[in-house]
Amino acid sequence: MAKSPESEHPIKAYGYAARDTSGVLSPFTFSRRATGDKDVRFKILYCGICHSDLHFAKNEWGMSTYPILPGHEIVGVVTEVGNKVEKFKVGDNVGVGCLVGSCGSCQSCANDLESYCPKQILTYGFPYHDGTYTYGGYSDHMVADEHFVLRWPENLPLDSGAPLLCAGITTYSPLRYFGLDKPGMKVGVVGLGGLGHVAVKFAKAFGAEVTVLSTSPAKKQEALEGLKADHFIVSKDPEQMQSATNSLDGIIDTVSASHPIEPLLSVLKPAGKLVFVGVPEKPIEISTYSLIMGRKIVTGSATGGLKETQEMLDFAAKHGVTADIELIPMDYVNTAMDRVLKSDVRYRFVIDVANTLKAP
Ligand code: NAP
Ligand code: ZN
Ligand code: ZN
């Protein structure tokens, strides 16, 4: 018989997990493996709440295995390292993002693109190499292979920097890969949530001219003044969309729910790129005509490799890019998730894990 989450490993651990598709999280005790030769063990300080955590907790992508313990924007302090660990020592601040494993030998892994490895192991809800399921950052501590652990830059805040581990790399990577990181590029960001607001900050740091396309008119002032976006368009307003026809080199679409795509294609220049990073439950519908008329490109992007994630953290530290956060106690997590669903967060919830997660 398979062992229970509490007894499969030697080290006791606790956190908050969802048990079924209601997605409601409650206290959960489990266990974590002993520190292996290449492992880094760390106490969790902060963990961001990504919309993917909601998708997973409610099994919206049909791939969740319960209990599911979310959290992949994890910042902590090292408490133990394995004999063969080279990059870290006890007391270092570290981060873990969406990945804790990959095959290490495929073409993607060989090119530092672990997020495209067909055998990637996500930080939570995935079988690890030893067959036991991974548990994420809504928990007291964690252990991960050092390859998947990020060095935390000295001047990067631990709390408002945490969301960079998913929201940050997921927007930084496509901006770079699709050439939208050049001064003067006209970049659109669809959906001003956790990913979207960080996308605006990175695009501005690259020198782009940034247009926010949002369904929330109330976010206009903050977008223009707080986030320093150059333009703000209410995407549901056909007149405002019309005024932006053929104006953008590329769009990063961060929307978490189904929404009309054709209007977004119309605001792209010829050969413009629409890059999906948001993952709505349902497939999208596009008429080929709107692609043909202008040779427009529709594509997608998944987080980023470990090397690029480190580069992104260092860039963020240098350019002062952090998330705008609301720091919350652990027992607020269900309310926070309800508010994320209503787009009622400016712009990322971060759980103050070390100070508020109570031992069972
Ligand atoms: P979030 O904070 O909830 O932001 C999503 C934003 O989308 C909302 O703030 C809202 O912005 C807009 N939106 C929500 N519902 C909408 C609707 N029905 N129609 C139009 N716009 C709507 O979520 P997030 O954490 O940024 O994550 C966004 C998506 O990216 C999720 O699907 C998540 O799973 C996915 N994701 C993907 C990757 C990847 O590797 N590709 C990594 C992380 C996350 P406005 O109010 O401005 O309209
Ligand atoms: Zn995420
Ligand atoms: Zn691989």
Nearest CA to ligand 1 atom 44: 52
From the CA of 114, the nearest ligand is 3
Nearest CA to ligand 1 atom 17: 257
Cβ contacts of residue 176 below 8 Å, gap of 6+?
308
Q: If pLDDT is split at 50, 70 and 90, which confidence band does 70 have? A: very high
Ligand 2 midpoint to CA 220 (Å): 24
Instruction: Please determine, for residue 20, whether its predicted confidence score (pLDDT) is greater than 70.
Output: yes
Mean pLDDT over 85-107 rounds to: 98
Instruction: Please determine, for residue 2, whether its predicted confidence score (pLDDT) is greater than 90.
Output: no
Q: If pLDDT is split at 50, 70 and 90, which confidence band does 332 have? A: very high
In this predicted structure, what is the pLDDT of residue 22?
Answer: 97
Nearest Cα to 40, choosing from 2, 4, 75, 90?
90
Least confident of 278-282, 310-314, 320-324: 278-282
> What are the boundaries of each domain within the chain?
11-165+323-356, 167-300
- Cα–Cα distance measured from residue 271 to residue 46, given in angstroms and rounded to the nearest whole number: 41
Ligand 1 atom showing the smallest separation from residue 256 Cα? 32
Ligand 2 midpoint to CA 71 (Å): 8
Q: What's 215's DSSP letter?
A: S
In this predicted structure, what is the pLDDT of residue 1?
Answer: 58
In CATH, the architecture of 11-165+323-356 is Alpha-Beta Complex (3.90)
* 167-300 classified as CATH 3.40.50.300: no
Ligand 1 proximal residues by C-beta, below 6 Å:
50-52, 55, 166-167, 170, 191-196, 214-216, 219, 254-257, 259, 277-279, 301-303, 340, 343
Ligand 3 midpoint to CA 103 (Å): 4
In this predicted structure, what is the pLDDT of residue 3?
Answer: 85
User: What is the pTM (predicted TM-score) of this model?
Assistant: 0.97
Q: What does the DSSP assignment read for 10-74?
A: SEEEEEEEE-STT--EEEEEEEE----TTEEEEEEEEEE--HHHHHHHTTTTS---SSB-----E
Least confident of 114-123, 216-225, 277-286: 277-286
Q: Which amino acid is located at 324 in the chain?
A: D
From the CA of 111, the nearest ligand is 3
- Residues near ligand 2 ion, CB 5 Å cutoff: 50, 52, 166
